[in-house]
C-alpha cells in the first residue's frame, strides 16, 4: 500500500478506537515518508492515548517542527499536556504561556495552565487561570469544577460554596433531563453530605457508559461461573498501582494471600516508571500484567481469558479509571473496593467491600451494590512494615509546653464548619496551638484570617509542609490530638496518625467519605474517639486536652498494642477477606 492508503486505513482504525492497528498503519506510512506533519501528529496522539508518553514525544516534536505554517494551537496544547504527564511541568507552563500569547481567548489553554499550577501547588496562580477561563466560558462545568477544587484548596469557602451550589444545580438539572451528571462523585463528596445524591450521580454516569456501549453493540454477558477445581482465581484491576495512595496502602497485601487456596492476578493499567510500591506488588504477586498499551475492549478480553472467579475494581471513579472494562463483565463476580469511597452506581458491579461502620443498615440504600462487610474495617494498610525515625518536637518548630492539635488532611477537605469547630476548641484550650498541613501561602493567609474572625490569635496556627512519607509519619507523634473534618474526613491520613501513636477525633456523617476515620478507629479499639455531634466533638477535644492522664492512655494504647490491633494485622485482614471471597464463590 502507498502512503495515502496507509494513512486512510490508519484513520479508519483510529475512528473505531482500534489504536494498535491504527498505530501500525501510521508507523508504516511514516517509514515511507518521514516527518509528514499529519502522520507524525496521529502517531503522537495514539502513543499518548496508549500511555506511551516517551514514545509520543518525538512524534509531537516532529509534527510541530514540520508544520507548514504555525503549529495548530490544539497540537501545542496536547504537547504541553504530554510534558506535564512526563513530569516536565515547568516546560509545560512555558508552552501554555506561548499558546495564550497567540490566543488569549483559548479557554482550554487557561484551564490546562491552571492545572499545571495546581500540580506544583501554586494554587493562587491556578485560581487566576481558572477565573480567566470562566470569563471566556462563564458557566462551563469543567471550569466550575476546577474553581471548586482550587478554592477549597485555598480555603476560600465563600467561593467554594458558590461553586458547590452551582455544580449541584447543574448535576440535578442534567439528571432530571435523563442525562449523566457532569459532576463526578469525586468532586461532589468534597461538599455534599447527602449519600442519596452521591448515589444518583454515580448511577447517572454509569448509565451513560452502558448507553454508549449499546450504541457500539458492545454489550457482554458475564461469563458463566466455572466449576472450581483447585484454587479460586481472584483478579485486581487498577490504574492506581503506580505512585498513588492505593499502591501506598495495599502494596503488602498480596504477600499475605494464601497461594494454596487462591490464584491471584493483578492487572496494572498505568505504570510508566519505577515505583517502590509497585515493585513490591510485582515481587509478591503470582501473575502481574502491565496493560498500558491496551484499550478497554482488549483489557476486558484479556482478563476474561483467565477465567477468573472474582474481579476487584481498585479504582471506582478516579480520573484514570476504566469503568468500561467492568461494564463488559469480564468476570462472574465483580467487587468495588477502596479507590473511591462511594458506590459505583453500576449495574455490573455486584458488591462493594465495606463494614458495619461505613455502611450501617440505615445507609444501605446509598449503594447499588450489595454490601460485603469486613469483620473489622474495610480499610487495609501496609504500615506495620514501615520503619520510622524518632525525632524531637523542636525539630518541627513546635512549642514544647503547649497542647498540639493537628490536621494533616489536604486543605480541600477542610470545610468552613470543621474549621470553625476547631477554632472553638482552641478558644476553650488556652495553652494550645493548631498544627496544619498548608499547601500555599494563599491558603495560610485565608486560614489565619478566618481564625481572627473566630476570635483566635492567627499565630496559633503553625503551618506544616509536604514531606517524604517517612519524614511525614515520623513528625506526627509530636502532635497530641488530630482533629478530623466533618464532610470528607481523614482516610490514609488517619491510619498514618494512628501508626505514629497520634489519636484522631472524628464525627462521622451519613456519607462513606465522612465515615472512614470512624471505621479505622473502631478497628484500633478506639470507639471513644468517634462522636455523634459537633458539640460532643468540642467537649471531647477539650476533655482530652485538659487531661494528661487520658492523653497518655490513648497514646500508650496505640504504642503498646500494634501487634494485636485489627487495623494493623495485615495477615488477619487478608484471611477475613479470603473467607468472604470463598463464601461468595461457593455460594455463586
Q: CA 537 → CA 41, 160, 331, distances in Å?
A: 57, 24, 44
Q: Does pTM surpass 0.75?
A: yes
- Please indicate whether the domains covering 232-383+571-587 and 393-568 agree at the CATH topology level: yes
Q: What mean pLDDT do residues 163-183 have?
A: 97
pLDDT tier, 214 (very low <50, low <70, confident <90, very high otherwise): confident
Write down the pLDDT at residue 347: 95
Taking the CB of residue 344, how many other CB atoms lie within 10 A of it?
A: 28
pLDDT tier, 223 (very low <50, low <70, confident <90, very high otherwise): confident
Q: What mean pLDDT do residues 322-339 have?
A: 95
Phi, psi of 127 (to 5 degrees): -60, -40
Q: What mean pLDDT do residues 425-441 have?
A: 97
334 forms beta bridges with 311
Contact at 8 Å (CB) between 405 and 374?
no
Q: What mean pLDDT do residues 356-363 have?
A: 97
Write down the pLDDT at residue 50: 80
Write down the pLDDT at residue 226: 75
Q: 369 is written with which cell numbers?
A: 451494590
pLDDT tier, 21 (very low <50, low <70, confident <90, very high otherwise): very high
Annotation: CATH topology of 393-568 = Rossmann fold (3.40.50)
Give yes or no for residue 401 having a pLDDT over 90. yes
Q: What's domain 232-383+571-587's architecture?
A: 3-Layer(aba) Sandwich (3.40)
Q: Which of 60-64, 260-264, 295-299 has the lowest average pLDDT?
A: 295-299
The four Cα atoms 162, 126, 456, 544 give a dihedral, to 10 degrees, of 90
Contact at 8 Å (CB) between 286 and 262?
no
Write down the pLDDT at residue 464: 98
Q: What mean pLDDT do residues 408-425 have?
A: 97
Q: What mean pLDDT do residues 286-313 have?
A: 93
Give yes or no for residue 319 having a pLDDT over 90. no
39 torsion bin: left (phi>0), alpha (psi -120 to 50), beta (else): alpha
Tens-digit pLDDT profile for residues 96-146: 999 999 999 999 999 999 999 999 999 999 999 999 999 999 989 999 999
Q: What mean pLDDT do residues 474-489 have?
A: 98
Tens-digit pLDDT profile for residues 276-298: 999 999 999 999 999 987 878 88
The span from the CA of 477 to the CA of 471, in Å, is 11
Tens-digit pLDDT profile for residues 496-516: 999 999 999 999 999 999 999
Give yes or no for residue 386 having a pLDDT over 90. no
* Ranges of each domain in the chain: 3-165, 232-383+571-587, 393-568
Tens-digit pLDDT profile for residues 365-375: 999 999 999 99
Write down the pLDDT at residue 243: 86
Write down the pLDDT at residue 85: 85
Write down the pLDDT at residue 107: 95
The span from the CA of 513 to the CA of 188, in Å, is 11
Contact at 8 Å (CB) between 332 and 222?
yes
Q: What mean pLDDT do residues 511-535 have?
A: 98
Q: Which of 78-92, 381-395, 474-488 has the lowest average pLDDT?
A: 381-395
Q: What mean pLDDT do residues 571-583 have?
A: 97
Write down the pLDDT at residue 235: 98
Angle at 549 (CA atoms; ends 548, 551), nearest 5 degrees: 65
Give yes or no for residue 225 having a pLDDT over 90. no
The CATH classification of domain 3-165, taken from the options 1.10.10.10, 3.30.9.10, 3.30.930.10, 1.25.40.10: 1.25.40.10
Residues of 201-237 as b/e, b for ≥16 C-beta within 10 angstroms? bbbbbbbebbeebeeeeeeeeeeeeeeeeeebbbbbb
Write down the pLDDT at residue 146: 96
Q: What percent of the chain has pLDDT over 70?
A: 100
Give yes or no for residue 220 having a pLDDT over 80. no
Amino acid at each position: 500500500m502507498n502512503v495515502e492508503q496507509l494513512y486512510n486505513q490508519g484513520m479508519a482504525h483510529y475512528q473505531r478506537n482500534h489504536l494498535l492497528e491504527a498505530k501500525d498503519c501510521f508507523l508504516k506510512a511514516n517509514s515511507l515518508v518521514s516527518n509528514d506533519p499529519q502522520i507524525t501528529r496521529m502517531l503522537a496522539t495514539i502513543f499518548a492515548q496508549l500511555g506511551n508518553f516517551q514514545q509520543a514525544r518525538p512524534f509531537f516534536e516532529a509534527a510541530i517542527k514540520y508544520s507548514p505554517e504555525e503549529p495548530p494551537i490544539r497540537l501545542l496544547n496536547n504537547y504541553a499536556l504530554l510534558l506535564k504527564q512526563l513530569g516536565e511541568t515547568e516546560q509545560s507552563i512555558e508552552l501554555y504561556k506561548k499558546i495564550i500569547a497567540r490566543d488569549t481567548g483559548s479557554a482550554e489553554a487557561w484551564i490546562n495552565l491552571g492545572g499545571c499550577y495546581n500540580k506544583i501547588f501554586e494554587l493562587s496562580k491556578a485560581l487566576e487561570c481558572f477565573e480567566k477561563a470562566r470569563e471566556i466560558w462563564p458557566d462551563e462545568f469543567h471550569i466550575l469544577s476546577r474553581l471548586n477544587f482550587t478554592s477549597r484548596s485555598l480555603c476560600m469557602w465563600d467561593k467554594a460554596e458558590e461553586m458547590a451550589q452551582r455544580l449541584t444545580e447543574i448535576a440535578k438539572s442534567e439528571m432530571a433531563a435523563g442525562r449523566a451528571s457532569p459532576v463526578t462523585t469525586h468532586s461532589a463528596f468534597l461538599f455534599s453530605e447527602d449519600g442519596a445524591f452521591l448515589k444518583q450521580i454515580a448511577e447517572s454516569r454509569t448509565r451513560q457508559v452502558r448507553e454508549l456501549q449499546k450504541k457500539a453493540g458492545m454489550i457482554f454477558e458475564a461469563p458463566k461461573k466455572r466449576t472450581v477445581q483447585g484454587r479460586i482465581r481472584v483478579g485486581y484491576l487498577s490504574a492506581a498501582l503506580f505512585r498513588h495512595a492505593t499502591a501506598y496502602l495495599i502494596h503488602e497485601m498480596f504477600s499475605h494471600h494464601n497461594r494454596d487456596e487462591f490464584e491471584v492476578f493483578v492487572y496494572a493499567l498505568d505504570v510508566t516508571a519505577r515505583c517502590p510500591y509497585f515493585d513490591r506488588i510485582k515481587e509478591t504477586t503470582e501473575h502481574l500484567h502491565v496493560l498500558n498499551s491496551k484499550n478497554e475492549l482488549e483489557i476486558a478480553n484479556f482478563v476474561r481469558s483467565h477465567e477468573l472467579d472474582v474481579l476487584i475494581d481498585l479504582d471506582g471513579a478516579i480520573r484514570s479509571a476504566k469503568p468500561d472494562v467492568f461494564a463488559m463483565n469480564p468476570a462472574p463476580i465483580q467487587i468495588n473496593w477502596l479507590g473511591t469511597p462511594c458506590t459505583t452506581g453500576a449495574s455490573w458491579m455486584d458488591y462493594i467491600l465495606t463494614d458495619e461502620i461505613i455502611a450501617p443498615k440505615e445507609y444501605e440504600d446509598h449503594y447499588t451494590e450489595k454490601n460485603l462487610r469486613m469483620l473489622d474495617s474495610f480499610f487495609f494498610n501496609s504500615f506495620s512494615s514501615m520503619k520510622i525515625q524518632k525525632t524531637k518536637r523542636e525539630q518541627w518548630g513546635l512549642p514544647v509546653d503547649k497542647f498540639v492539635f493537628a490536621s494533616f488532611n489536604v486543605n480541600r477537605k477542610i470545610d468552613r464548619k470543621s474549621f470553625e469547630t476547631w477554632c472553638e476548641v482552641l478558644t476553650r484550650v488556652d495553652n494550645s496551638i493548631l498544627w496544619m498541613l498548608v499547601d500555599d501561602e494563599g491558603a495560610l493567609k485565608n486560614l489565619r484570617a478566618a481564625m481572627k474572625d473566630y476570635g483566635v490569635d492567627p499565630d496559633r496556627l503553625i503551618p506544616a509542609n509536604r514531606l517524604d512519607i517517612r519524614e511525614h509519619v515520623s513528625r506526627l507523634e509530636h502532635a497530641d490530638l488530630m482533629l478530623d473534618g466533618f464532610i470528607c474526613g481523614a482516610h490514609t491520613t488517619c491510619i498514618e496518625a494512628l501508626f505514629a501513636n497520634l489519636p484522631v477525633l472524628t464525627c462521622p456523617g451519613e456519607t462513606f467519605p465522612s465515615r472512614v476515620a470512624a471505621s479505622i478507629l473502631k478497628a484500633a479499639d478506639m470507639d471513644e474517639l468517634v462522636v455523634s455531634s459537633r458539640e460532643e466533638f468540642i467537649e471531647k477535644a477539650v476533655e482530652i486536652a485538659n487531661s494528661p492522664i487520658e492523653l497518655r492512655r490513648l497514646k500508650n494504647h496505640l504504642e503498646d498494642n500494634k501487634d494485636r490491633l485489627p487495623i494493623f494485622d495485615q495477615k488477619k485482614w487478608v484471611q477475613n477477606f479470603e473467607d468472604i471471597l470463598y463464601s461468595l464463590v461457593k455460594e455463586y
